[in-house]
Every structure is written in C-alpha cells, then in structure tokens.
A and B are shown apart, each in its own frame.
Chain A
Amino acid sequence: MPRNFWNLFVFVMCLGGSAGAHPHVFVDARTGFIFDADGRLQALRISWTYDEFTTLILFESLNLDQDGDGQLNDADRAAVIKAETNWEPEYKGDVYLEVAAKDYSLGRPEAGAVTLANNQVEVSFTLPLSQPVRIDDTPAFLRLYDPTFYYAYTILPATEPVALPKGCQAQIVPFEPDAVESALQENLAALGREEAPAQENVGRLFSDEVRLTCG
C-alpha cells in the first residue's frame, strides 16, 4: 500500500476523531503574553473558566466546599491548583505555541490562582517558555485545543489584558468552519506530494488561535 494512502487514512481518522467527538467540558480561555526587559517573549498567562456543570464535577471529584457555604477556602483553592496545573509531563496543558512555523516548547505552570464567580471556577497560571524568544513580523500562534475534543476551548479577550511591548499586536482569530474546510482541502491536495508532512496535527485546524506579531 503506498505511504500516501496511510497518510490519508490516518488523516481522515484523526479528522473523524477531532471533528466528530463530543465535547463534555466547555472552557472559556483567556490569554496574555509576558515579555522580558529585553523585549523577548518570556511566558504565557493562561486562564480557563469552566462551565457550570464542570465546576460542579470539580467540586465533587476534589471534594471541595465541605462546609457547604458555596465558597472556596484556601485548602479548596490549593486542591484545585494542584489538580489543574500539576499535570503529567506528557500532557502539554492543551497549550501550543508556534514560533517561526515550529512548535515551541513550554515549561511547567507557575503562579496558579483560582477564583469562583457566577458558579464557574476559573483557573489561571503562567506558562514560561523553555527559552525567551524574540518575536518579529513572522506571526507567532498560540492555540488552545484538546486533540480528542473532550475539552472545547473558546478564546475570549482578556478581562485584564497584559500590556504588550510597543509595536506588538495580539489578535484572536476564532475558529471558522469555512477556513477549516479550505485548509483541509489544501492539506489533502498536499498529501499527494512526497514532501507532505505525515504528522500534520489535525486538531489545531479546529482551534481558536491568538496571532502575535511584533515590529
């Protein structure tokens, strides 16, 4: 069987997986870019606001609010931060940064914080880059997605935006089905060529993204 057939096969299967699966957890995400004194991108600030149902599940699975007052105390907040940000090394936090058309590696979450408002838990944390990087006019992309689509992320404008250095711009590009379809067609067409990337990640085609440019 030609390799291209299997590329196509896996591609279609992945497509089925990411487009066809059912989301159970809905997350409103907010993002920020943190630059160092030299104007290099140093870290990402990520916040996840869970839907009300997932918030109830979190209360149950972590046994929060044992006094039943509907509020989180310090022990509850510590439990949420531990469960949500102290993740397994192989999990990437569903956070993907692309710089100069390559995946950029990220460190472990820091400075976790938890709030409860409108019956929704919000978890936020800082995700340092493995090394600070200079962003130029080639856009860097920040994408939040779960490859299995169990979690559905929507990127919203930050409530307290982190200031960007002069000349830098961050723009949220929402997921558009039309754009996906045309990108899929291009990819399918490209699969016929030998240089086509076999490990093309289909999941990212379905995600909102933040486009960051400087200069």
Chain B
Amino acid sequence: MWLRFGAIVLCILAVGAAAWSFVPWLDIQRWAAGEQRMFQNAMAGALRGIQAGDPLAVWTLCSATAAYGFFHALGPGHGKVLIGGAALASGATLKRLGILTVLSSLAQAATAICLVGGLYFLVQMRSDDLADITETWLAPASYAAIAGIGAVLIFRGARSWYKLGQAKQIAQGCCGHAHGPSVNDVTTLATARDSVALIASIAMRPCTGALFVLVIAARFDAFAVGCLAVITMGLGTAAFNLTVATSGVAARRLAGLGAHNQESMQAVSATLHVTGGVLIIFISLGMLLPYVR
C-alpha cells in the first residue's frame, strides 16, 4: 500500500526536478551576486558613515545588511537544505517551521556576535583569522551535523516502515484489530530536542559577511551598531529561507493528498522522512566533500 505513496513522492520529486532544471540557475546566481555586491558596497559606505559620525548611517547599514542577508541566501546554502528537508519530512506546521527558520537565522547572528565579542576583543584576533576559523572548522562541523540530522530522519522513516509492516502481519494473523503505531511515532520537530538540534546545526556556522561587519564596526568603536546590523542581516536571510520552508510544507501537503486513513498518512510520513533525509545527506555531504579531500 505504501508503495503507492512512495510512487506519489517519486512523482513529486520528478516534477520538482523537472521544474528545477528549467530555472536558469546560473543567470539567477549571477544576478544575485550582482545585487549582493551592490549591498556589500552600501554596507561599506554606511560603515564609513558611522565612522564619520553620520546619525542616519545606522539605518542605511541595517537596511543594507538585511538586503545582503536576503540575496546572500539565494544560493544553495547549508541552512536551506536542512530547513527544506525538515519541512518535507516533519509534521510541523508552517507557523512552527517559520519560527524555527527565524530562530535559526537569529542564532546564526548570535554565533557571529559571540565569536567576534570573544575572540576579537579578548584575544585581539583579526578578521582574516576569524574567517579562517569559520571556514576551516565551523563550516564542515555544521555540514556534518546536518548530515547527521538527515541520517536520523532516514532512520525514523525506515523504523516506521518496519513497524507498519509488522502491524500488518499482526493484523492479518489476529482478529482484524489495527495495532499500527500511532502517527506520532514518525513526527519530527515536535519536541524541543529536535528543534534545538536543527537550530544548533545551522547556527554553528556564522556567515563570514556578518563577522566582517562586526569586526569593522568594532574597529570604528561601534560594536553595538554592528550587532544590530548583523541581527537585521539574519532577518533578511530568514525572509528568504521562509520561502524554502513554505515550499517544503507545500510539497508535503501534496504528497499527503491521497492519504485518507491513519495508516496511509503514516506511510506517507515515513516515505517523506526517508526522502527528506536522503536529500539532506546527499547535499550536505556534497558540501563536506571539499574538506575531506
């Protein structure tokens, strides 16, 4: 029975892949890089304004960083992979996923603030060393953590498949009572533990752009302004990632359309867990690969 839902999921993936291949990604990326460059220059101008004591420069800086965060997110980044996959797999509502998306972006900003607050002020570490730490240690650690979450999703989906199969055998051998596991058995992101794992794996790696804004602001004796700017940058990133979460939830709803009873709902959920997990593992290992070679 759940083979049928597997087929539905495969159909959705195939339609998604076909739509994906029609999108001119290279053109979009080039356009996004151009926009990013523009806002990066606006950030530089605003930072120089702050150094010169221009009171309006704070607003210019915050709007520039928000826009930078949005356009910088327009690439296949690590946060989107996880949020998209989790949105597909979990039973979480769009509202809950939206909150998680915003929180993970804000936590990412907080990591940047802690890193600069700790290492720049206490150890007087310079921006290039901070960027090195991020790229050499934090980035692969974050990819590995995300791949781990993908593995957990696959495990949960597979376990649910197994239980469903067992429940069926019992039902056939017994008296027709359904002893299937409850739907809750394969719900992900329902617990605080899941949510914290998701947020932590994304927040582990701050954006180097945020680090640089903070360090430059600190040099101009305006660290507080830098913190504010990095928080708006996180909100800009969250704004883009929300579209990814929405697509993931929409794809899940589509996959669940054919399911009418509890058992088929659960089969769909199990299949989506495995699909989301495979997507997450494949892409995050792809990002991890350059570090292990």
Contacts and interface: CB of A to CB of B under 8 A. Distances in A.
Do chains A and B stick together as partners?
A: yes
Interface of A: 13, 16-17, 19-24, 26, 51-53, 55-57, 59-61, 63, 119, 148, 152, 177, 180-181
Nearest to A16: B286
B54 interface: no
A56 B48 contact: yes
Interface string B35-71: 0110011011101100000000000000000000000
12 contacts: A17-B290, A19-B25, A19-B29, A26-B37, A52-B44, A53-B41, A57-B215, A60-B215, A60-B219, A119-B44, A177-B24, A177-B27
Interface of B: 24-27, 29-30, 33, 36-37, 40-41, 43-45, 47-48, 72, 75-77, 126-128, 208-209, 212, 215-216, 219, 286-287, 289-290
Contact of A53 (B30, B212, B219): B212
Main secondary structure of the interface of A (DSSP, over half): helix
A180 B44 contact: no
B33 A57 contact: no
Contacts of B219: 59-60
B72 A22 contact: yes
A126 B21 CA distance: 42
B75 A51 contact: no
Given A148-B290, A152-B33, A181 B26 contact: yes
Contact of B128 (A21, A55, A61, A180): A61
Nearest to A26: B37
B36 A23 contact: yes
Contacts of B40: 26, 51-53
With most chain B CB atoms within 10 A of its CB, the pick from A16, A56, A177, A180 is A56
- Nearest first, the 3 closest Cβ-Cβ pairs linking A and B are A52-B44, A177-B26, A53-B44
A44 B219 CA distance: 37
A63 B29 CA distance: 33
A97 B101 CA distance: 45
B230 to A, nearest CB: 14
A56 B209 CA distance: 12
A148 B135 CA distance: 12
A71 to B, nearest CB: 14
A52 B41 contact: yes
Contacts of B126: 60-61, 63
A53 B212 CA distance: 9
Contact of A57 (B27, B72, B212): B212
Contacts of B43: 53
With most chain B CB atoms within 10 A of its CB, the pick from A61, A148, A181 is A61
A10 B33 CA distance: 25
